[in-house]
Amino acid sequence: QTPILEVNGLKKYFDIRGGVFGRKVGEVKAVDDVSFTVMEGEILGIVGESGCGKSTTGKSILRLIEPTEGKVKFQDKDITELSDEEMRQLRRNMQIIFQDPYASLNPRHTVEKIISEPLLIHGLTDKNERKKRVTELLEIVGLSGYHASRYPHQFSGGQRQRVGIARALANNPKLLICDEPVSALDVSVQSQILNLMEELRDEFNLTYVFIAHDLSVVKHISDRIGVMYLGRMVELTEKNKLYDNPKHPYTKALLSAIPLPDPDIEKERMILEGDVPSPANPPSGCAFHTRCPLAMEVCKEVRPQFNEIEDNHFVACHLYE
């Protein structure tokens, strides 16, 4: 297995400005020291409540926003050191699919134009060639050539997301950041899109970082899953280990929120109280200590390290130190 993406000590802080002069009055640590590796062909799920920094992590990886600190290596190149032009060249290999296909597709453009655009940007100047490729891409995602002349509003949510995927695949990328691609869709459509994405991964040997806000969506599709809380990665391991033997109290709480398929299986239930604290003013020590039923004195003082406590099982929690 070859790593395709290595994220090391990634931080993204946003300034909070206020007052008459718009002076900096604080900062939001949206992503605060996150590290993980993604293997070629793998689907890494990243899960957490809204505001935990998962989308910011995804966008920082593509440098759609500039990381404050840290390294992002894609195919052995440190992309944080690339020039804009080098980054532009590389970006064809790394694409993003957004949650809301309504917002991410220009409503005034036909599907043909929407999918052609990245082809043109990366040098496919021949109009007929582009047309051919658009039809091919539409077929790859389960639509067909006659959809090319239509506009986004003429499609259902699921079809629109298929168009979004076709556009992302236009230049044969290696890595797709999927930022909650099915969250806006009906449950019945969600599984169709997830199945499609899994097929595409196999067919084109793609790698996904698949962001979701609950564990049930990523359960089927992921090989490994990382759980984020308030800008930090708190647990990361293989899917089955995470579901069968979760270590971090926050992961246990997230899993408790999923209805069990078999009510006879008694599981250790952990119910989360309270809301996620503001990332502008995160709790000291372990950021989860204000909601953790197992919190100890040390948790308020010392930030737990993200350690590999078992083979391929990373946890940031004082219970395991």
Contact residues for ligand SF4, defined by CB under 6 A: 248-249, 286, 288-289, 292, 294-296, 299, 304, 317-319
CB of 169 to ligand SF4, least distance (A): 39
Nearest to 162 by CA among 224, 97, 93, 70: 97
104 binds Mg ion (CB under 5 A): no
- Output the smallest distance, CB 247 to ligand SF4, in A: 9
CA angle, corner 44, sides to 249 and 163, nearest 5? 125
* 161 touches Mg ion by CB under 5 A: no
Which partner, ligand SF4, Mg ion, none, binds residue 295 by CB below 5 to 8 Å per kind?
ligand SF4
Paired tokens of 43: 């689907």
In the complex with ligand SF4, the residue whose CB is nearer, 59 or 248, is 248
Crossing angle for the helix pair 127-140 and 111-121, nearest 10 degrees?
A: 120
Residue 190, classed as helix, strand or coil, is: helix
Question: Considering beta carbons, is residue 119 or 228 the nearer one to Mg ion?
Answer: 228
Give the largest Cα separation in the chain, rounded.
68
Give the binding range for Mg ion (CB under 5 A) out of 52-60, 80-88, 130-138, 170-178.
Answer: 52-60
CB of 214 to ligand SF4, least distance (A): 19
Q: Name the β-bridge partners of 96.
A: 177
CA separation, residue 134 to residues 105, 115, 143 (Å): 15, 6, 11
Whole-number minimum distance, CB 246 to ligand SF4, in Å?
12
Between 231 and 304, CB nearer to Mg ion: 231
The dihedrals phi and psi of 9, each to the nearest 5 degrees, come to 60, 35
The nearest distance, CB 91 to ligand SF4, in angstroms, is 37
Q: Is 56 in the site for Mg ion (CB under 5 A)?
A: no
Cα–Cα distance, 319 to 246 (Å, whole number):
13
Phi and psi torsions of 193, nearest 5°: -70, -40
Q: Is 55 an interacting residue with respect to Mg ion (CB under 5 A)?
A: yes
Q: Which is nearer to ligand SF4, 137 or 236 (CB)?
A: 236
The listed partner (Mg ion, ligand SF4, none) that binds 251, CB under 5 to 8 Å by sort, is: none
Residues 6+ apart with CB under 8 A from 304: 285, 286, 316, 317, 318, 321
- Cβ(285)–Cβ(302) under 8 Å? yes
Give the one entry of ligand SF4, Mg ion, none that residue 55 binds, where binding means its C-beta sits below a cut-off of 5 to 8 angstroms depending on kind: Mg ion
| Closest distance of CB 307 from ligand SF4, Å | 11
Which residue type occupies 303?
Answer: R
Residue 57 in contact with Mg ion, rule: CB under 5 A: no
Q: 111 vs 299, which CB is nearer to ligand SF4?
A: 299
Site membership for Mg ion, residue 222 (CB under 5 A): no
Give the strand order in the sheet containing 313-315.
94-97, 175-179, 207-212, 43-47, 224-229, 232-238, 313-315, 307-310
Question: Closest approach of Cβ 65 to Mg ion, in Å?
Answer: 13
For Mg ion, the closer CB: 148 or 230: 230
Footprint on this chain of Mg ion (rule: CB under 5 A)? 55
